[in-house]
Structure 1
Amino acid sequence: MVPHLITALTGPINELEQRILESMPAVERWFRLEWMEHTPPFYCSVDIRNAGFKLAPVDTNLYPGGWNNLTQEMLPLAVQAAMAAIEKICPEAKNLLVVPENTKNSFYLSNIAQLQKIFRMAGLNVRVGSIDPDIKKATAVDLPGGETITLEPVVRGKRRLGLKNFDPCTILLNNDLTAGPPGILEDLHEQYLLPPLHAGWSVRRKSRHFQSYEEVAKRFGKMLGIDSWLVNPMFNRCGELDFFKEEGMDCLRTNVDALLTKIRKKYKEYGINEKPFVIVKDDHGTHGMGIMTVRDVKDLELIRQRPKNKPPVGKTGQAITDVIIQEGVLTAERINDAVAEPVVYLMDRYVVGGFYRVHAERGSDENLNAPGSTFVPLAFAESTRLPQPGQKPGASAPNRFYMYGVIGRLAMLAASYELEATDPHAESYD
């Protein structure tokens, strides 16, 4: 299913699609050269918004769940990408240990089961090792599709992590480490840990990612001869906030006002008749929590008027004290009159699939990653490979999916820049 656009593609994004399709050889060569210089994250998912006049990522997850929401048609691409990724890292790999979040939620574990299937098809023995202290023996969990997954307690040796009678060369994390890396995962010098610990939310910051993305977008825009704003959400950041005292609120008001002013200027430049807004969210790992849409500085007062026992909180229940203020990007896509946004999945440097996140109770300027959202899977297998230059912009599903794949790869490239900058083991030339 391909969502319809509520507005015809006109003006800047029309020209953007034409420019990218006409420049496809240059675009692909540009990515190829970038990947020669930078190592992509092992896998990621990218939330994208298509405003009809702008196409940009709004979040990049380096520990993507939701693999079970992808269509079965994407499996061959995912398996090929998994093979390529493993061959680069550990060609002789035989055993793979998947470490999930500490939960028995069957819908989340369906995602783990899909990853297990992908890597088995890629030629690995795959088992699931839990670091949850409550898992003390092999525990079978029934899944919604009728399958069963077995969680086993991990066993930590002096320098290796594994299971009883199972010694993996590679450990795949599907746990975003919001609360910090547990000691059991540290100092594994004789095993490959993917992604690395510094990709977790205890180290990552959205503002750092989008700073890297801005750099990538500017270079991409220069190569194509386009305004990078068309693919880049502007942002500001504020730290040391307390929503119920005055600490940090002046910083927040000033930065919200400054960003809204910059967006209005861009809207005027392109003749866009929409009301600008910004998204204020936790600067590290939100899982759709604590996200606020702000259309005017006055809206910030409404946040402060919340009951004292209901502050904006992140995934671990901690009060949010550092925020990214991100340019809001409308979504102009609809499925059965419900707002929708594409989510692109990548492994190694390849687009392997995606789905539309759909929410019937949210507006086009609101966060859709919230309770009540549903998923419509998309098979990118043919769509990303067979764009059709010359088609009317926006009319061709393969062209639209190819565009989403380009944006997803830009975000993945930004994540590689980001991880290089935060790598504690990287050589310093200061």
Structure 2
Amino acid sequence: MVPHLITALTGPINELEARILDSMPAIERWFRLEWMEHTPPFYCSVDLRNAGFKLAPVDTELFPSSFNHLTPEMLPLAVQAAMAAIEKICPEAKNLLLVPDNDTGSSFYRANLQCLVQVFTQAGLNVRLGSLDPAVTAPTTLPLPDGESLTLEPLLRTPRRLGLKDFDPCTILLNCDLANGTPAVLENLHEQYLLPPLHAGWGVRRKSRHFESYEEVAKKFAKLLGMDPWLINPMFGRCGEVSFGDASGLDCVQANVDAMLTKVRRKYKEYGINEKPFVIVKADNGSGGAGLMTVRDAKDLADADGLARMRERLGTVRGGEAVTEVIIQEGVPTYERVNDAVAEPVVYMIDRYVVGGFYRVHAERGIDENLSAPGARYVPLAFSESHQLPKPGAKPGALAPNRFYMYGVIGRLAMLAASYELEATDPDAEVYD
């Protein structure tokens, strides 16, 4: 199933697809060489936007929490990738401690945990769940939508290790994004592998740092293919001292919005794109789709109504943290449709491998709006059979394998950018003058 594009502006994207397919051997070699120098995140998901004239990542999550939306046919790929990841990190691993988000009330999130337990169990590990919630003081049963259940247990911390009662893991896998900071129980674990690392959490991580790294990756990749990096890269700016309470720093937001709209108009003119540009103002430490606003004109931020909208949509992120830093990102419309509803592809990866994905679909949202909102539904991508079997020479846009391969390439570029980002922000990295 390939959703259709409703725009006629497919020239550049068709050319990009053809170029990527024709360059497949060079692309795969390039990725191999990059992974010789850089360590991929343990797992991640990437939200993409296909505008018909450009294809770009708009968000990269290092604690992906929707594995339940992958089809059963995709699970063998996930198991193989998990095996490869574990063998690199801790070949003798026997026990894996999975630490979920404190909010386990959602049946969808519990199904995500169930899928992760299944993947890592089939990868040859004993998997148990340990909770960061201090209210969990005894084993707690979490019922699942299919009638099965999971057991959530209280964490047991010793001076140098973290585990559960009668369970000492080699590896600890976090599935919580640490938006409210780093819990003390996770600090100073020097004898165990903690994945992803603590500086990947939203308490430390910044979207602007990620997209700075992605810009570097996109330029390298574009040079390899001999193309304009803008076709795969969303431009961005940043404001680092903003208060939506007293409106301080909002002049920086207005100026950056205006400058970004001007840059996008220039690019649209260069490519003959007859579209009205927009930007997305996001919390720089945002998570869970919170802290986000679409802006089409900088003047919309100048009046009291504009300030009220910003306070409502950008004042806090998930977890109640106040927003003091924002990223102003070029808006990439999505012209993908599934049953006439707006859709965007999401690519899931473990280690350096694409393991699947889905379309996030929202019937009540527009092409320039955030789709990660109540009312969204999920339609699986057919990565399981086709993402590594594209067919060069076919008419661009006509075959699912070709489009999915292109999605996987852009997703892997974002994953590579995340590895650059984590290396640059590693507090334990050695610095040489």
TM-score by length of 1: 0.98
1:76 corresponds to which residue? 76
- Code of the residue aligned with 1:220 in structure 2: it is F
- Give the secondary-structure state (helix, strand or coil) at the position aligned to 2:355: strand
Kept in 1, the 8 Å contact 2:290–2:313? The answer is: no
Does residue 180 (structure 1) correspond to residue 181 (structure 2)? The answer is: yes
Does residue 250 (structure 1) correspond to residue 251 (structure 2)? The answer is: yes
> Structure 1 310/96 Cα, relative in aligned 2: closer, same or farther at 3 Å?
closer
In 1, distance between residues paired with 2:191 and 2:185? Answer: 14
Does residue 92 (structure 1) correspond to residue 92 (structure 2)? The answer is: yes
Q: Which runs of 5+ in 2 are unaligned?
A: none
Runs of 4+ more than 4 Å apart: 306-311
In 1, distance between residues paired with 2:328 and 2:200? Answer: 21
- Deviations 1:317-361, CA, capped at 9 Å, x for gaps: 233221000000010111111100000000000000000000011
In 1, distance between residues paired with 2:362 and 2:103? Answer: 25
Does residue 47 (structure 1) correspond to residue 50 (structure 2)? The answer is: no
1:168 corresponds to which residue? 169
- Give the secondary-structure state (helix, strand or coil) at the position aligned to 1:342: strand
- Give the secondary-structure state (helix, strand or coil) at the position aligned to 1:7: coil
Cα distance, 1:379 vs. partner?
A: 3.1
- Deviations 1:95-115, CA, capped at 9 Å, x for gaps: 000000002323212111100
Cα distance, 1:313 vs. partner?
A: 1.8
Cα distance, 1:91 vs. partner?
A: 0.2
> Structure 1 156/386 Cα, relative in aligned 2: closer, same or farther at 3 Å?
same
- Deviations 1:279-335, CA, capped at 9 Å, x for gaps: 001001331112100000022133313497886321122332210000000101111
> Structure 1 26/307 Cα, relative in aligned 2: closer, same or farther at 3 Å?
closer
Kept in 2, the 8 Å contact 1:130–1:153? The answer is: yes
Please say which of residues 238-247 and 35-44 is displaced more in the overlay. Answer: 238-247
1:407 corresponds to which residue? 410
- Code of the residue aligned with 1:31 in structure 2: it is F
- Code of the residue aligned with 1:358 in structure 2: it is V
In 1, distance between residues paired with 2:251 and 2:131? Answer: 44
Does residue 141 (structure 1) correspond to residue 145 (structure 2)? The answer is: no
1:416 corresponds to which residue? 419
- Deviations 1:148-180, CA, capped at 9 Å, x for gaps: 111011100110000100010000000110011
2:63 corresponds to which residue? 63
Kept in 1, the 8 Å contact 2:244–2:311? The answer is: no
- Give the secondary-structure state (helix, strand or coil) at the position aligned to 1:343: strand
In 1, distance between residues paired with 2:89 and 2:309? Answer: 49
In 2, distance between residues paired with 1:305 and 1:104? Answer: 32
1:393 corresponds to which residue? 396
- Counting only pairs closer than 5 Å after superposition, residues 141-160 of structure 1 correspond to structure 2 as 141-160=142-161
Kept in 2, the 8 Å contact 1:244–1:304? The answer is: no
Cα distance, 1:11 vs. partner?
A: 1.9
Kept in 2, the 8 Å contact 1:9–1:393? The answer is: no
> Structure 1 308/49 Cα, relative in aligned 2: closer, same or farther at 3 Å?
closer
Does residue 12 (structure 1) correspond to residue 15 (structure 2)? The answer is: no
Cα distance, 1:8 vs. partner?
A: 4.3
In 2, distance between residues paired with 1:380 and 1:275? Answer: 33
- Code of the residue aligned with 1:271 in structure 2: it is G
2:129 corresponds to which residue? 128
Cα distance, 1:247 vs. partner?
A: 1.3
Q: CA RMSD for the aligned pairs? A: 1.3
- Counting only pairs closer than 5 Å after superposition, residues 9-408 of structure 1 correspond to structure 2 as 10-105=10-105, 106-300=107-301, 301=303, 302-306=305-309, 312-408=315-411
- Deviations 1:383-425, CA, capped at 9 Å, x for gaps: 2111011111111111010000000000000000000000011
- Give the secondary-structure state (helix, strand or coil) at the position aligned to 2:281: strand
In 2, distance between residues paired with 1:322 and 1:15? Answer: 37
> Structure 1 388/108 Cα, relative in aligned 2: closer, same or farther at 3 Å?
same
Cα distance, 1:54 vs. partner?
A: 0.3
- Deviations 1:188-224, CA, capped at 9 Å, x for gaps: 1110000010110111100000000000000000011
Kept in 2, the 8 Å contact 1:243–1:303? The answer is: no
TM-score by length of 2: 0.97
> Structure 1 124/311 Cα, relative in aligned 2: closer, same or farther at 3 Å?
closer
In 2, distance between residues paired with 1:140 and 1:428? Answer: 46
- Give the secondary-structure state (helix, strand or coil) at the position aligned to 1:424: coil
Cα distance, 1:14 vs. partner?
A: 1.2
Please say which of residues 34-43 and 381-390 is displaced more in the overlay. Answer: 381-390
Kept in 1, the 8 Å contact 2:292–2:313? The answer is: no
Kept in 2, the 8 Å contact 1:40–1:349? The answer is: yes
- Code of the residue aligned with 1:240 in structure 2: it is E
- Deviations 1:23-66, CA, capped at 9 Å, x for gaps: 00000000000000000000000000000000000000000000
2:431 corresponds to which residue? 428
